[in-house]
Amino acid sequence: MCHTGLHFQCVVKGCFFFEMVSLRMLILSLLSVSLVGSLPSQSLQVESNLPHPADGPSPLSSSDLSFPWSRLRLPRYIVPLHYHLLLHPNLTSLKFSGSVQIEISVQNNTNWVVLHSKGLQIFTATILDHNLAHLSDQVLPVLHNPSHEQIGIFSPKVLSGGQNYFLYVEFGAELTEGLYGFYKSTYRTSTGETRTLASTHFEPTSARMAFPCFDEPSFKATFSVRIRRSPEHISLSNMPVEKTTEGSGGLLEDQFATSVKMSTYLVAFVICDFKSVTATTSSGVQVSVYAAPEKWEQTHYALEVAVKMLDFYEQYFNIPYPLPKQDLIAVPDFQSGAMENWGLITYRETSLLFDPRTSSVSDKLWVTQVIGHELAHQWFGNLVTMEWWNDIWLNEGFATYMEYISVEATYPDLKVEEYLLHTCFAAVGLDSLNSSRPITSPAENPTQIKEMFDTVSYDKGACVLHMLRHFLTDDVFQSGIVRYLRKYSYGNAHSQDLWDSLTNTCSDDDFVSGKHCYSSGQAPKNAYLFAGEHLNLTAMMNTWTLQKGIPLVTVTRKGPRLLIRQDRFLKTVLPSDPQWNSLQQGFLWHIPLTYKTDASSTIHRHLMMTPTDSIHIGEEVTWVKVNTDMTGYYLVHYEDGGWDVMTKLLKENHTALSYRDRTHLIHNAFQLVTAGQLPLNKALYLISYLQLETHTVPLLEGLGYLESFYHMIAKRDDHDLTHSFGMYILRFFRAVIDQQTWSDLGTVSERRLRSEVLSLACQLDYPPCLEQARQYFREWLQFNGTLSLPTDVAETVYSVGAQDDHGWESLFDTYKVSLSGAQKKKILYALSSTRDTSKLQKLLELGLEGKVIRSQDLSSLVLMVARNPRGHYLAWNFVKKYWDTLVQKFQLGSFCIRNIIIGTTGHFSSPEQFAEVQLFFKSIKKQASQLRSTQIALDNVQKNVHWVQRNLETLRKWLMEQKP
């Protein structure tokens, strides 16, 4: 799944649904028990020759029955082998009915089958033997445990260990209003007609909302899916359609080929009226991209990328893509960026569709990266799946890292490698708070599992893999992950399995069978030679995955030696604080250090496995830069004048360091400022060299910190300081600003710099920027919004235009009818930049309503409003007022709720605001106590409070000194 967001008029005739339910249902007085009739309806029968039990027997007594299972995770003694699934979604009534026949393997004698079901009405439950004969002629009791989202089906006849049986269940429910499970989505045509479709999103725990199933990743099985639909629609699932038959009432039934063995969260189906484009990879896989008919023209770039990426991955992993087809579909309502369902990847429209007239180069890169991420999952996640959600990083960390490897290989002109540093910086931002977590963390209930899809799993996971790849070398890393994928294909794995694969260890039996392994007797287990030392890779990697946080390596020059010390880096606690020692207790990393000096171009290596260490570098060395190109996941502090040496180097000869090293220095310096370990003026002196900088990445890193501080100060109502800081930024970057053109010309890096720099210049009311933007906006208005603006500056033009009533209303009208997701995203940002609080309030209300502004965009909208100095309290009050509604829309633990909590409080910086946030979290204690994100938000506010207390006067003094 990528974090980051179909089409039809439904008139279904002859639809069988709930008419006969009351005749088949027996309602018992016990709240937790429902006895359901055993006669499957003919219209939903999975096998036409499925025998029925005798009619009319008395139901079994349930008075002595209680739910047989008390744990959140299902018992292991029943294993699903194959699902026969039939579904009929009615897009008029917005309900669906279905049946499932699950072949199960019973390991131990039992009377119970326990599986998952959430929000489903169970009509019939039957158990059959391997000859499809009913085990009982009586009505089988179905017990419900809603708190665990489980049902238990009781068989009066014992199910024998070592035997296979068939569980047959009929069920129904409403298509959900949320963005998970089996849900409805809508879109409007250019003529104003609203069309409805049905789509799925199951990861992590929502397959149970569409059909009863064993909804845990290790319960892999094969699936045969049939879907009933009206003729004006198509249906899609993981596999191709094998045949379509006509049924009663003019309905059609699509029968899909049997799937490969996979987890329930990867099952998918969509019923829509979309159009597609299709091409074939070099190995014969048919690739199709689907979208609403009027957005069909925006699918061509995605098709080109998907074909090229599939070819790349088949070569890189040296494992053929195992399905005959791969569909990619743009769903109008979608919570995340995309979902990697095997053979049917679902996307938010902005993550798949590319319109050259309205999509910027950043939009193009985003689409390319998301496609790369999801296609990587077809191997990492789908072919080999983590055993349990505590290791979700094995899916998401790998897919995030493979984005960079795949895009760099297939679209080198997009310069995706320039973004990897920022992925790691995002990880540092969270990992330097005490509320962070280890990469591998316990997660049992659905809320905890959803919270695992976070910066740690995605970004830190990717950065730790990046460090490991550079540590092992590209070839060893690649061959190790291929070995991992081959060994665990169609199965499940733990982190340990990855370390074993990367170090080529195996059993003596494997060695004898010639699987390119060495036996444990030939070399130390998990040994790898690094910097002349044998290393236990498991021990090393456990320090990165089983403990939270990030190390700070402090270096001090002492003659020919470099003294080094590692501590846990924390931004909310000082070494002088009483709790410092307890927060450092027990933390130690095995750090693969790299460094460069002015004495040679060699990258030196040293493995640091102790709290303190020293390295001989020689007397002749003038400077040493540690963590070359930030390939290692750690920060560096240069003590005793070391930062002065770095500042001098950057001013006198900045190109002696790579652009990555220059960016790394800027990042580390400002992180240390926030942690109270470096004075702010030292970091500001360090970036003064940026007036000589020509590379986009370090320029934007320095500018980003200044912009972040500016936005925090602007929300403190200190108008004099805000104004003087804004003027300082404009003076400092004026040369860069003035050389920008208002066009889409140049390299990807140049275009990215243009977008960022002009956006900030206009936000800071730089007259030439405002004048140019207003001119473009006037022309856009004259052409009634049909003029194609340069895509890299369109958002800035819209934002300037949105500052008066006529401009705002014109943009809002365009937003309502635009068929381009990329354009709508830019316009919504512009609308949220208004200084008119009544308009900001209107936007929030429309987002909550979910019609003009879709619910999928509400969390982004709340953050946009919160970013606006006029809107940050508005957004916070909105979240407090509608908290229950937001949780209902997005589910507790989802990244949308996480982003709303952290985003709306992210610029609070006073003790009073900290107390206010604490008070609100206390008022929702039952929910807040389940969320890690509430503590992250508090840590963030505390970090800001400390920053202001330590640095505000220093900044004020600095600005006085810099006045011309």
Q: Which residues are catalytic?
A: 374
Alpha helices for 715-803 (secondary structure H): 719-732, 734-738, 748-763, 767-782, 794-801
Vertex 260: Cα angle to 255 and 263 (nearest 5):
105
> At 612, which helix (H) or strand (E)?
strand 612-616
Task: Give the C-alpha distances (Å, rounded to integers) separating 441 from 444, 502, 859, 938.
Answer: 10, 22, 26, 21
DSSP string spanning 290-355?
Answer: EE-GGGGGGGHHHHHHHHHHHHHHHHHHTS---SSEEEEEEESS-SSSEE--TTEEEEEGGGT---
Strand pairing report for 325-331 and 344-348: parallel
In sequence order, the β-bridge partners of residue 224 are 84
Distance of CA 522 to the CA centre of its chain: 42
Strand-pairing partners, residue 106, are 78, 163
DSSP character string of 23-45: HHEE--S-TTEEEE-----GGG-
Largest interatomic CA distance in the chain: 96
Tokens (6 digits) for 156: 């009066």
845 C-beta neighbours (distance < 10 Å), count? 12
* β-pair type (163-174, 121-128): antiparallel
Residue burial 447-482, b: 16+ Cβ < 10 Å; e: rest: bbbbbbbbbbbbbbbbbbbbbbbbbbeeebbbbbbb
Q: Which secondary structure element, helix H or strand E, spans residue 388, and what is its range?
A: none
Can you tell me the distance from the alpha carbon of 723 to that of 921, in angstroms, rounded to the nearest whole number? Answer: 34
H/E stretch holding 483: helix 474-487
Across-strand partners of 88?
A: 97
Residues 229, 234, 240, 244: what is their CA dihedral angle, to the nearest 10 degrees? Answer: 50
Identify which of 820, 817, 821, 888 has the alpha carbon closest to the alpha carbon of residue 848.
888
User: What CA–CA distance (Å, rounded) separates 30 from 807?
Assistant: 61
- What are the φ and ψ backbone dihedral angles of 292, each rounded to 5 degrees? -55, 140
User: Terminus-to-terminus CA distance in the chain, angstroms?
Assistant: 51
